[in-house]
Amino acid sequence: MAFELPALPYARDALAPHISSNTLDFHYGKHHQAYVTNLNKLLDGSPLAKKSLEDVILESAKDSSKAGVFNNAAQVWNHTFYWNSMKPGGGGAPKGDIADKIKADFGSTEKFVEEFKNAGATQFGSGWAWLVLDKGKLAVTKTPNADLPMAHGQTALLTMDVWEHAYYLDFQNRRPDYIATFLDKLVNWDFASKNLKAAH
């Protein structure tokens, strides 16, 4: 069965004015759709076509001859995860279990924010900043291009896309402003909490 572009968890203009509907038209409507289309072409007639997206990612990650499959499958997964990592009226300090875990593992919310901003700002070229669960502890990581935590045995809780097409129409070359806006106005802590709970 062919993979399909998952529906956005909100309207295309719901993240405005921080992320415009124009950005989502291109980023979701064109870029994300292209990864889905390319993945289906690459998997046509392959035994992997019957597997889950996660299985396609993990199997193709181990085989360098399937780099194209991995890149497109991982980008389908990464983008779906990214849309859910944001919500209208999001941002601000975490609450509940995820806040307690952040304080326990980073020392403070401020320390987490500092590390997450740094990961996003220092990812050279295209990639992602992540909050992950690694062997029971929270950590901030960054990955280049399509790479993602599951390929390294980690559980993703939250991600921020730092490919230029994620922010260029709204922020031009001001990646640090986009990162600050993501944390202050957009981040979906409910989604991170749900992922943390599911991992235990």
Q: Which residues contact 116 (CB under 8 A, 6 or more apart)?
A: 129, 131, 140, 160, 179, 183
Q: pLDDT (tens digit, 9 = 90+) per residue, 15-49?
A: 999 999 999 999 999 999 999 999 999 999 999 99
Q: What is the CA radius of gyration of the chain?
A: 16
All structural domains of the chain with their residue ranges: 21-84, 96-199
CATH number of 21-84: 1.10.287.990
**In the chain, what percentage of residues exceed pLDDT 90?**
96
Residue 1 is predicted with a pLDDT of: 63
Q: pLDDT (tens digit, 9 = 90+) per residue, 79-119?
A: 999 999 999 999 999 999 999 999 999 999 999 999 999 99
- pLDDT band at residue 140 using 50, 70 and 90 as cut-offs: very high
Mean pLDDT of the chain: 96
- What's phi and psi for 45, nearest 5 deg? 80, 0
Rounded mean pLDDT of 114-135?
A: 97
Rounded-to-integer distance, Cα 191 and Cα 84, Å: 7
Q: Is the per-residue pLDDT at 185 higher than 80?
A: yes
- Block residue for tokens 């939250």: 158
Residue 23 is predicted with a pLDDT of: 96
Rounded mean pLDDT of 171-191?
A: 97
Q: Which CATH architecture has domain 96-199?
A: 3-Layer(bab) Sandwich (3.55)
Q: Is the per-residue pLDDT at 200 higher than 80?
A: no
Rounded mean pLDDT of 41-60?
A: 94
Rounded mean pLDDT of 140-162?
A: 97
CA–CA distance from 120 to each of 15, 36, 124, 162 (Å)? Answer: 20, 25, 9, 6
Q: Is the per-residue pLDDT at 145 higher than 70?
A: yes
Residue 86 is predicted with a pLDDT of: 98
Amino acid at 20: S
